[in-house]
């Protein structure tokens, strides 16, 4: 018999965060989160997402043992302002038992019905900067710090419980050796001259901070036309600024500005922390931080985290400026693999940006939906 318990205490939340550590024990492709960071994500006093969202967390038990977990999330900006009557759910993990997954999904459904919402969709997080999608292809590739990994049986559980595909995301990678500078070096010069643009590079995080709010504003403008986009609020900007920007290599953040120094494009790349996080085993101390710092400095693989171009400059070749700058940086650091974060299958514009790099889709993931 499966029993569902709502997470309320500190010990419950710790158990919620640590459940995947047992579920994926000895799995060479799962990348564990830092436990402290995960706990802060679920802390209403620390995560600004809770200013516009609410969440309930549940653990599934069988014979006194934890066998599953789920977070049920309502994003009220999405519901009230965008009129998307959607019940979100994420951090959804479970053993291969249909009774377990069903019991957890029913709790999400109950909350959605209480809020008079029309459908539930997951796995998703609080916002567009959270992890998204259940992996359906590419289980033999190591995960990243910004994606969920899951067992292959997850897909069959969604379909067994009457869920249908909502969105599909592609994850692509390419060898840095595939980046032919002739493709963008000449274009870089022409685009800068034609539109009066210039690149901005950084060597210190302090120099980036005054630009971060403008970057998030541009992020909101760049992606507002995509399905289910929820803008980043001012409070969230401050949160992400403190939590992430200072830890990203400053040389991996590139900006493009116009004659008036108005930001028109940006890109953020991160070194791969996957293997370092596996070694850290969820803890920064005493040794986890050293693995992360070493990866930050020496990793030969990078992940393209965010790239944004102002709508007025889209389809005008502005990314050639960004690629030209990254090419110089990656060449100096001896980068081998370039990995892209999940991108909506329908986002043909992003596919055009990368077409000259001979990318290969190595993972696919989906969100699933079901009427309430």
> Which long-range contacts (C-beta less than 8 Å, at least 24 apart) are formed by 45-48?
47/126, 47/239, 48/233, 48/235, 48/236, 48/238, 48/239
Total number of domains in the chain:
2
Domain match, 230 and 245 both: yes
User: Bridge-partner residues for 164, per DSSP?
Assistant: 369
Owning domain of residue 69: 2-168
Mean pLDDT for the chain? 94
Domain match, 154 and 219 both: no
Query: Which whole number is the average pLDDT over 191-216?
Result: 94
273: three-class secondary structure by DSSP: coil
Structural domain ending residue among the three candidates 133, 168, 203: 168
Domain match, 114 and 196 both: no
Does any domain span residue 369?
no
- The predicted pLDDT at position 235 comes to 86
Rounded CA separation 236/226 (Å) = 20
- The band of 269, judged by pLDDT with boundaries at 50, 70 and 90, is very high
Domain match, 236 and 297 both: yes
CATH number at residue 257: 3.40.630.30
Domain match, 152 and 234 both: no
Q: What is the pLDDT of residues 15-74, one digit of tens each?
A: 999 999 999 999 999 999 999 999 999 999 999 999 999 999 999 999 999 999 999 999
- The band of 351, judged by pLDDT with boundaries at 50, 70 and 90, is confident
Rounded CA separation 307/232 (Å) = 15
Q: Which residues of 105-137 are buried (b: 16+ CB within 10 A; e: fewer)?
A: bebbbebbeebebebbbbbbbbbbbbbbbbbbb
Domain match, 112 and 8 both: yes
- The predicted pLDDT at position 228 comes to 62
User: Bridge-partner residues for 6, per DSSP?
Assistant: 58
- The band of 350, judged by pLDDT with boundaries at 50, 70 and 90, is confident
288: cis peptide before it, omega within 30°? no
Q: Compute the 3-state secondary structure of the chain and give helix, strand, coil in percent, each to the nearest 5.
A: 40, 25, 30
Residue 237 has pLDDT above 90, yes or no: no
Structural domain ending residue among the three candidates 113, 144, 168: 168
Q: What is the pLDDT of residues 84-113, one digit of tens each?
A: 999 999 999 999 999 999 999 999 999 999
């Amino acid at each position: 018999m499966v029993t569902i318990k709502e997470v309320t205490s500190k010990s419950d939340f710790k158990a919620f965060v640590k459940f995947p550590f047992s579920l994926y024990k000895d799995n060479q492709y799962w990348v564990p989160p830092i436990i402290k960071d995960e706990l802060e994500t679920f802390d209403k006093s620390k995560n600004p997402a809770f200013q516009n969202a609410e969440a309930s967390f549940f653990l599934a038990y069988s014979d006194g043992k934890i066998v599953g977990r789920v977070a049920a999330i309502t994003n009220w900006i999405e519901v009230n302002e965008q009129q998307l009557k959607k019940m979100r759910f994420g951090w959804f993990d479970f053993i291969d038992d249909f009774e377990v997954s069903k019991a957890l999904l029913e709790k999400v459904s109950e909350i959605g019905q209480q809020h008079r919402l029309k459908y539930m969709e997951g796995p998703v997080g609080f916002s567009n900067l959270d992890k998204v999608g259940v992996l359906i292809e590419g289980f033999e590739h190591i995960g990243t710090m910004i994606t969920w990994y899951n067992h292959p049986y997850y897909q069959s559980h969604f379909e067994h419980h009457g869920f249908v595909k909502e969105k599909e995301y592609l994850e692509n990678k390419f060898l840095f050796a595939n980046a032919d500078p002739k493709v963008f070096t000449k274009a870089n010069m022409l685009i800068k001259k034609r539109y009066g643009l210039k690149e901005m590079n950084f060597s210190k995080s302090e120099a980036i901070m005054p630009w971060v709010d403008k970057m998030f504003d541009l992020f909101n403008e760049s992606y507002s036309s995509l399905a289910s986009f929820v803008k980043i609020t001012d409070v969230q900007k401050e949160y992400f600024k403190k939590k992430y920007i200072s830890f990203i290599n400053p040389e991996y953040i590139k900006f493009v500005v116009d004659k008036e120094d108005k930001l028109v494009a940006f890109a953020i790349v991160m070194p791969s922390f996957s293997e370092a996080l596996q070694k850290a085993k969820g803890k920064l101390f005493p040794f986890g931080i050293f693995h992360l710092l070493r990866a930050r400095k020496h990793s030969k693989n990078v992940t393209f985290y965010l790239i944004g171009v102002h709508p007025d400059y889209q389809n005008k070749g502005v990314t050639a400026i960004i690629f030209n700058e990254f090419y110089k940086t990656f060449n100096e650091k001896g980068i081998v693999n370039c990995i892209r974060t999940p991108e909506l299958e329908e986002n043909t514009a992003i596919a055009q940006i990368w077409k000259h790099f001979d990318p290969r889709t190595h993972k696919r993931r989906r969100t699933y939906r079901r009427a309430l």
